[in-house]
Amino acid sequence: MQLYGTEIASRLMLGTALYPSPADLAEAFRRSGAGIATVSVRREAGGERAGAAFWDLVRDLGVKVLPNTAGCHSVREAVTTARMARELFDTPWIKLEVIGHADTLQPDPFGLVEAARILTEDGFEVFPYTTEDVVLADRLLSAGCEVLMPWGAPIGTGLGLTNIYGLRTLRAQFPDVPMVVDAGLGVPSQAAMAMEMGFDAVLLNTAVAKAGDPSAMAEGFARGVEAGRLAYEADPMEPRDMAAPSTPVIGRAFLE
């Protein structure tokens, strides 16, 4: 998988928030083989995360870091946070979030496009957290984004893929654009479904961090992603309305 010209070995991305302990976080990444870690500059810089010690932990994971602008509700907030992240991590990558609705954490489509345009013109490689809206996707691509990150469901809900039709339509409309299903996944089967639909990767956090055994759940998601990708590449059979015998009739014994 290539994202902005960078080859990533794993199609699973994990967030770094909410884990019971730093050891649980590190073990989850080890068992999952995740290739990218997302980090919220606003949240993780707080005192409870021990500041620089947390940054050291993330760097020690040995994976590509994707800072994000989680918690930003305006273009100005998001752009400022992205620039802080670039200085902190020395990377042009940014997962762009501009939240427009407090309850669902749904992106603000107007602010998202505006912020994406500002950041791409400033040299960022933007990963926009968006919905499955085809028109919004087109605007983001026109703003300079080369990757799209449509949600499966609202952040932290674990509801899975709530609009399968919309996601299939989005994937079909832009077949050559790398797409990562981001947010709302709760169990590995949902990740497998996203991969079977042709998405390039999945990103999740809460489903792993809040599991009874985070590292086991992380490994489960890794296997689900791998299974779904293999199924997609194998070109699955088309569903049928009627049964079709899998055992041939020719040569079968008949009893009178």
Triad 73, 77, 80: Cα angle to 5°: 155
State the catalytic residue, choosing from 95, 117, 139, 171: 95
Is 69 within any annotated ligand binding site? Answer: no
The one-letter amino acid at 211: A
How far is it, in rounded angstroms, from Cα 127 to Cα 65? 12
3-state secondary structure of 167: helix
210 is catalytic: no
Is 156 within any annotated ligand binding site? Answer: yes
Q: Is 102 exposed, middle or buried (CB count within 10 Å of its CB: 0-12, 13-18, 19+)?
A: exposed
How far is it, in rounded angstroms, from Cα 144 to Cα 86? 18
Q: Which helix H or strand E contains 150, and what residues bound it? A: strand 149-150
The token duo for 6 is: 């960078």
CA 248 vs CA 197, 238, 245: distances in Å: 31, 20, 7
How far is it, in rounded angstroms, from Cα 158 to Cα 169? 22
Nearest alpha-carbon partner for 202 in 222, 217, 219, 220: 222
Q: Which residues contact 212 (CB under 8 A, 6 or more apart)?
A: none
Is 184 within any annotated ligand binding site? Answer: yes
Is 206 within any annotated ligand binding site? Answer: yes
Strand partners, 130: 150
Is 205 within any annotated ligand binding site? Answer: yes
| Binding-site residues from annotation | 156, 183-184, 205-206
Q: Which residues are catalytic?
A: 95
Please give the annotated binding residues for 1-deoxy-D-xylulose 5-phosphate, written as ranges: 156, 183-184, 205-206
